[in-house]
Amino acid sequence: MTEKNESHGKLRVTEEDAVWWLLNPQGERFVSIGANHLQSDCWLAPYNRDEMLARYGQDLATDQDLFNPQGQALPRLVSSVLTQLQELGFNSLGLHTYDVPASFYGEQMYYLRAIELVPLGSRFRFGEQRFPDIFSEEFESELDAHLSRLTATHAPQARFMGYAFSDIPRWYFFGNGGRGSYRVHPWVLDLFNQDKQSAGYQAAMQALGHDQPSTEEDSDRVMQVMVRRWYELHCRLIRKHDPGRLIFGDKLHSPHLVPDWFLDLLKECVDVVLIQWYTPIEDQRETLLRIHQHTGKPILNGDSCFGHAKAPKQSKVKGYAVASQEEVGLHYAAYLDALMELPFMLGWHHCGILEQWDGGKRRDWEINENGFMDPFGKLYEEICGPMQGANLRSHQIHQHSGS
């Protein structure tokens, strides 16, 4: 048996008989079957707000019509949602759990938290926002203070798994456009446009040897130095404030595009490789095996789903598109069953709990969630039947995956 991160009283990962597991402080093995987006704007959208206030209490919102985490209504809402999730076989809340204080769920559900001092992923607007100088003393000081606050909140929680850094940061180019018009990464260009005395400019110059990056090779050379600084700084400060806690690194988008030099760094720095990947398992197996073999680390899919838009309430939804609600359920079960047959996978966090309709105000994305509850909390049986079955058998399937 191989164990990593053997800090007393904290979750860790273990490899037993060629199968990887999460291990809680009581020594119980588990895989993380989670759901994302427990957040106020899903439950307080224009189309369901009045019913939610009537059901859980008017103080779910303030007099200014803002979410109120201090009222008596929120514990009732969270208790109801957690009961439904646990009955469906979920044991975790995913990275995208907003607004709701961890004290409301940290004794009942496993969860992880993104540090995300600066958003570097889909919400970052290239050409409009300045990248941080991650080499500077100022950035290190800000991250140190930010982690001090985060660890004070989450370290005491019984089921806190650990820290991710940022949500799908653009360290490498992904998506349909690939590099698009960017031969040189905008962050690299931004470093060279800083004051020549800045720490970022000096680090970039040392990596490249000249101050006019113009090729993909120039860009990648500087990016490797930047990513190493990002990972080593985050890991050092996490271990300072919460030693022994699991480190998940960034949630990585399009993992089939992750370059080998990035995998080398993950091998050095993280306990678990955290990914986001919205495709069927047939498209993933080869890449997942490559990542595990290169890094020697277990993998958690922290964000994906299958989606079906239901007109006229939804014009588009998140997820890998399928033809019907019934297919959403069938694809969910088939994906999780197959994922758990891979001995190095630690679980899956489904993207969305509560379905959204057009007109909602999700803070972080313009596309609706394809949840397994309607906006009023009613379960979709055609999804939840197969979902519950797969969730409940996931441990048993994984237990035999090494044979």
The pLDDT of 57-62, averaged and rounded, is 95
Judge if pTM exceeds 0.85. yes
Q: For residue 75, what pLDDT is reported?
A: 96
pLDDT band at 176 (very low <50, low <70, confident <90, very high): very low
List the structure tokens of 27. 């020594």
Q: Are 236 and 180 a contacting pair, CB within 8 Å?
A: no
Q: How many CB atoms lie within 10 A of CB 255?
A: 21
Q: For residue 308, what pLDDT is reported?
A: 95
User: What are 11-48's pLDDT values in tens digits?
Assistant: 999 999 999 999 999 999 999 999 999 999 899 999 99
Q: Report which residue type is found at 215.
A: T
**HSE (CB half, 13 Å, CA atoms) of 4?**
19
User: What are 324-362's pLDDT values in tens digits?
Assistant: 999 999 999 999 999 999 999 999 999 999 999 998 866
**Rounded Cα gap, residues 247 and 4, in angstroms:** 11
Using the predicted structure, report yes or no on whether residue 208 has a pLDDT greater than 90.
yes
Q: Specify the DSSP element, H or E, that contains 320.
A: strand 320-321
Looking at every residue in the chain, the average pLDDT score rounds to 91
More confident residue, 2 or 200: 200
First and final C-alpha spacing in the chain:
15
DSSP designation for 369: P
Q: Are 345 and 337 a contacting pair, CB within 8 Å?
A: no
More confident residue, 177 or 102: 102
User: What are 140-152's pLDDT values in tens digits?
Assistant: 999 999 999 999 9
CATH 3.20.20.80, applies to 2-177+225-399? yes
